[in-house]
A = this chain, B = another copy of it.
Amino acid sequence: MDVAAPTRVSLPPLLVDELGALLGDRVSTAAADLDQHSHGESYHAAHAPDVVVWPESTDEVAAVVRACAAARVPVVPFGAGTSLEGHVAALHGGVTLDLTRMNRIVEVRDGDLDATVQAGVTRKQLNAHLEPRGLFFAVDPGADATLGGMASTRASGTNAVRYGTMRENVLRLTVVLADGRVITTGTRARKSAAGYDLTRLFVGSEGTLGVITELTVRLFGVPEAISAAVCAFPDVRSAVSAVMEAIQLGVPVARIELLDDVQIAACNAFSDLTLAVAPTLFFEFHGTTRGVAEDAETVQQICAGYGGTAFEWATRAEERSRLWTARHNAYYAGRALRPGGQGIATDVCVPISRLADCILETKEDLVGCPVPVALVGHVGDGNFHLTFVVDPDSAEEHAAVARLHDRLVRRALEMDGTCTGEHGIGSGKLDYLEAEHGAGVDVMRRIKAALDPDGILNPGKVLRP
């Protein structure tokens, strides 16, 4: 699924000097730095940039982009490097902008429940900063990604069913355009009808329309009460049916996660848990003490109706944290099913009424799959992932998994779903973008050409050059 043998630009010899004049020693062409910035966490082929730079301000990013624009050299933004679809590989070489030194929390406004941060701030860093104030940032993709990266891929995660994705949680962005100009999208007003929604245009654009350097995001007050529960089911259909009923009833669960038996076994091993090896839902409820109790009671009844047993509570903060840490490590736990194996993560999302069908047809298709495969999902949103663990050197396994993956995506599209709920297109899903959007891709192309006429911004991602 990777772009085959992309052509690399030849870097003008003076560009590195020019970048050095701008950023001093925060410029590197050392092999170790280039290698570290050649890939995310996925199986996609690594492609090293020619130079890595570490800007510390929007102005520095703008200066670097201006230099690259003048030389028509690709610019690839890089955050925590946790991407799963090849977003950060420098397919055509060029300059990688490592934004991790832009990690300043600019302002937290308790009264407005919002915060402004530089793009390199990670979600854990922000939440640690917010904790003493009784606030939290809700979007939670598992990995400790940077907020700039999360905005760029329209990330979501376990809390999205209640608090929304980056689409709903970004109020405003500072963006460096392809020509080095800087814009601010929108204001801090909670809603606006003023012109085209540039904030939502840049959220999810994967660095191909501009470089996000600063974000203002929504915050929430830490709820008065939080409780988590785990419930095992006789089979996947029962578990998903319970989820569908809870969502359709409008129960305001904060998190509903499905882990299949393989994933539970993997988490038990990786995170030292002793959960029953069966399809399992993890729940979390947020609200007032009474509200949480009421919601949990409703959900417990629903689960019981589908044969859910052992509805176990984790009300203490440590227990909850242990459970969610295990959930967050599910991808790594899956990969650990096969030491030395390489993880290939899928990411479809379908309308909730089709979720059971989609999962069950997929499970059927997986019978005879030559490699371990674990299933985990943000099922309240209709989003689920498989982690295939392949031998990195086996072309045969890769081919078998590619066929299963292809059928999975087409199944989701036929069910009016999307080829990616939260991981993004990167270079890994270019064909599926076309399958999903049809003529809409031409609209995307025209927007790309209008905003980045020379195609220097993260080329080869989202759209074929």
Contacts and interface: CB of A to CB of B under 8 A. Distances in A.
Contact of A194 (B109, B113, B201, B433): B433
A446 B196 CA distance: 11
A429 B433 CA distance: 36
A195 B425 contact: yes
A458 B291 CA distance: 48
B192 A421 contact: yes
Name the interface size band of chain A.
35 or more
A31 B440 CA distance: 38
16 contacts: A112-B353, A113-B352, A168-B168, A182-B439, A190-B382, A190-B383, A191-B381, A191-B383, A191-B421, A191-B422, A192-B418, A194-B429, A194-B436, A195-B204, A290-B290, A291-B294
A338 interface: no
A21 interface: no
Q: How many copies does the complex hold?
A: 2
A307 B26 CA distance: 58
A270 interface: no
A355 to B, nearest CB: 10
A352 B197 contact: no
Interface string A151-176: 00111100010001101100000000
A220 B440 CA distance: 28
Nearest to A426: B193
Interface in A414-443: 416-425, 429, 432-433, 436-441, 443
Contact of A447 (B167, B294, B447): B447
Given A181-B439, A197-B204, A447-B447, 20 more contacts: A109-B351, A109-B353, A111-B248, A113-B352, A154-B193, A156-B193, A167-B191, A188-B416, A189-B418, A190-B352, A192-B349, A193-B204, A194-B419, A194-B433, A197-B200, A198-B444, A221-B249, A291-B294, A447-B450, A449-B450
Nearest to A378: B191
A156 B192 CA distance: 9
B204 A201 contact: no
A347 to B, nearest CB: 8
A20 interface: no
Contacts of A249: 221
Interface in A306-354: 347, 349-353
Contacts of A248: 110-111, 113, 221
Interface of A: 109-114, 153-156, 160, 164-165, 167-168, 177, 181-198, 200-201, 203-205, 209, 220-221, 223, 244, 247-250, 287-288, 290-291, 294, 347, 349-353, 381-383, 412-413, 416-425, 429, 432-433, 436-441, 443-444, 446-447, 449-451, 462-463
Contacts of A244: 111
Contacts of A462: 195-196
Given A290-B294, A351-B109, A447 B196 contact: yes
Leading 3 A-B pairs by shortest Cβ distance: A200-B200, A111-B353, A192-B418
Contacts of A419: 194
A416 B196 CA distance: 18
A185 B196 CA distance: 16
A352 B183 CA distance: 24
A188 B439 contact: no
A246 B446 CA distance: 45
Contacts of A185: 437, 440
B443 A198 contact: yes
Nearest to A196: B444
A188 B437 contact: no
A170 to B, nearest CB: 11
A203 B194 contact: no
Contact of A112 (B194, B351, B438, B463): B351
Contacts of A109: 351, 353
A451 B154 CA distance: 24
Nearest to A221: B250
